[in-house]
Structures are given as C-alpha cells and as structure tokens.
Amino acid sequence: MRHRREPTELRLIRLDEELEVFRLTATDDPADPVFEDSFRSRYELDLPPRRNTPEEGHAALLMGVSVFRRVEQAMETGLRVRARGRNIGDYVARLRLRPDEGFDLADTGSRGHLTIWCDSVKLAASVVDIVPLQQ
C-alpha cells in the first residue's frame, strides 16, 4: 500500500487579509534575473513534469511554487538540505500577499507548507524582506 498524499482534494485558501509567507530563493538581488526565476514554477520555466511524480497527473502541481507559513520552516529546510551538500536556495524571502491580487494558495504537503499559484513577477514584487540562510 502506498502512502503518497495525493493532491486530489486541493482546497484553495480564501485570502481575506494580508498573509506573510516564506520562500527559499537563489539570490537576494532583485536586479538579478535569477531572483525572478526563483518565483517561477516548472511550468513557467518551460520544464516538463518530473517523471514518476504526481506532477505527471496534476498540472496544477507543475504550475505552483512552494512557500512556508513560518520563516523557521523555510530556514530550517534550506539549512538541513545545505548540510547534506545540496542547495535549494541560499536566502529566505518574506512575501506579503494581499487579497484580491490574484494569489491562489492551498495547504499541501507538511503542515505549514503551501503551494501558491501566481504570476512570478507579482510574486517577486511581493517580497518585503530577504535574509540569507543562517542558524
């Protein structure tokens, strides 16, 4: 029996007020094209679904990006990956999402992990702070 958590019941979160979320990014320089790329989904980067993953069966997953509700979650995730010699981002960006600006979010994965769907330009413009990974 598999224990995959299937994304068959994604429930969008209604954004009635501002919400801060945190995203791992590759740079802290908004002028660097890599900055905006940090907010692009695989779909937006024109990358195919990863094989043998739910991305093959759920286009929504290919079109979303991951964020966390708490800065500690993003920070610890990045640090623990870095400790194993891998990199999923060197910085943690704080995004302030405002209602009625076209953000769609759903709780996915572990508690406090969200998938967000939005134009990457708008996501990048929502960054209000960015800090390097640190203990």
Partner 1 sequence: MHYMILDSAGNAVDTFDDLRAALDALERLVEAEPEAAEHVVLLSYDAEGNPVGEALTVEDARNGRVIFADSPWVAGAATGVVGPTTSLTYQFGAAGFQSRAAFVSSGEGVPAHG
Q: Which residues lie near partner 1 (CB under 8 A)?
A: 2-5, 23-25, 38, 41-42, 50-55, 64-66, 68-70, 72-73, 76-78, 80-81, 83-84, 86-89, 108-113, 115
Torsion of the alpha carbons at 120, 105, 71 and 40, rounded to the nearest 10? -20
Please say which residue, 32 or 99, places its beta carbon nearer to partner 1.
32
Q: How far is the CB of 76 from partner 1 (least distance, A)?
A: 4
Please say which residue, 46 or 100, places its beta carbon nearer to partner 1.
46
Residues 69 and 112: beta-carbon distance below 8 Å: yes
Which residues, including other chains, have CB under 8 Å from residue 126's CB and lie 6 or more apart?
95, 96, 97, 98, 101
Q: How far is the CB of 118 from partner 1 (least distance, A)?
A: 14
Q: How far is the CB of 103 from partner 1 (least distance, A)?
A: 16
Which neighbouring-strand residues pair with 68? 22, 113
